[in-house]
């Protein structure tokens, strides 16, 4: 079995180990907000296809991302190219029923930008679900590499270029540095600092916390 096949079985499509974990988390999310089909949602850093594949569709979803997104979408989904840490006024002045974010907080670019992200989440809605991988889970989830997050930057960049389970191997040192420096896993204390009035939930695997979720529901 090749490395690609191993990665596909671990974190590939819906039938992979990671895909099943994501489906379980999504079911947990929809159970937490049983009125989701009546809610307006802003998804910070997400993808419209996540919502299109869900068995429960909100009344309206606004997906904001710094990556270009598809525009040919159902009328209950809108998209914008924008930075979730520095939202333009037309978006920042709106109000929603729920802020949603999945595996984005670790990529926004350091503590100060995480603070801006959280401030926007608090302003946009009274309810939120903000998930991020847990720093102290023994396997770094983006490269599927044990302990990678604890290595010095140079060692992480070297591993990013060579590790066989990486989704896309870095093309060079600069590309590898971009990848590892824009990926900063956080812990419970940091998440609670950003969301002090939220419940911090633990998504566990084999008894170990795999990801942490700030949830607020009024």
What contacts 8, CB < 8 A, 6 or more positions away? 16
pLDDT for 9: 61
Which of 11-25, 118-132, 159-173 has the highest mean predicted lDDT (pLDDT)? Answer: 118-132
What contacts 199, CB < 8 A, 6 or more positions away? 214, 215, 216
pLDDT for 19: 60
CA distance 180 to 154: 9
Q: What is the pLDDT of residues 138-163, one digit of tens each?
A: 999 999 999 999 999 999 999 999 98
Name the pairing type of β-strands 98-102 and 127-133: parallel
Q: What is the mean pLDDT of residues 176-181?
A: 95
Domains of the chain: 14-139+183-216 (3.40.50.150), 143-182 (no CATH)
Q: What is the mean pLDDT of residues 100-125?
A: 98
**Do 101 and 46 form a contact (C-beta atoms < 8 A)?**
yes
pLDDT value at 14 more than 80: no
């Amino acid at each position: 079995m090749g490395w690609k096949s191993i990665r596909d079985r671990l974190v590939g499509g819906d039938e992979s180990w990671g895909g099943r974990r994501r489906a379980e988390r999504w079911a947990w999310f929809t159970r937490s907000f049983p009125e989701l089909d009546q809610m307006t949602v802003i998804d910070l850093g997400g993808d419209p296809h996540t919502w299109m594949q869900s068995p429960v569709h909100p009344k309206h979803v606004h997906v904001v991302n710094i990556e270009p997104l598809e525009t040919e979408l159902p009328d209950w989904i809108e998209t914008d190219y924008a930075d979730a840490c520095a939202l333009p006024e037309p978006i920042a002045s709106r109000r929603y029923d729920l802020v949603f974010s999945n595996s984005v907080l670790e990529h926004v670019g350091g503590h100060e930008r995480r603070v801006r992200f959280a401030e926007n989440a608090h302003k946009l809605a009274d309810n939120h679900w903000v998930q991020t991988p847990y720093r102290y889970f023994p396997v770094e989830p983006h490269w599927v590499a044990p302990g990678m997050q604890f290595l010095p930057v140079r060692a992480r960049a070297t591993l990013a270029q060579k590790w066989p389970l990486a989704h896309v191997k870095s093309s060079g040192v600069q590309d590898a540095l971009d990848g590892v420096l824009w990926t900063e896993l956080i812990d419970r204390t940091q998440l609670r600092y950003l969301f002090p009035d939220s419940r911090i939930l633990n998504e566990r695997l084999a008894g170990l916390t795999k990801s942490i979720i700030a949830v607020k529901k009024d």
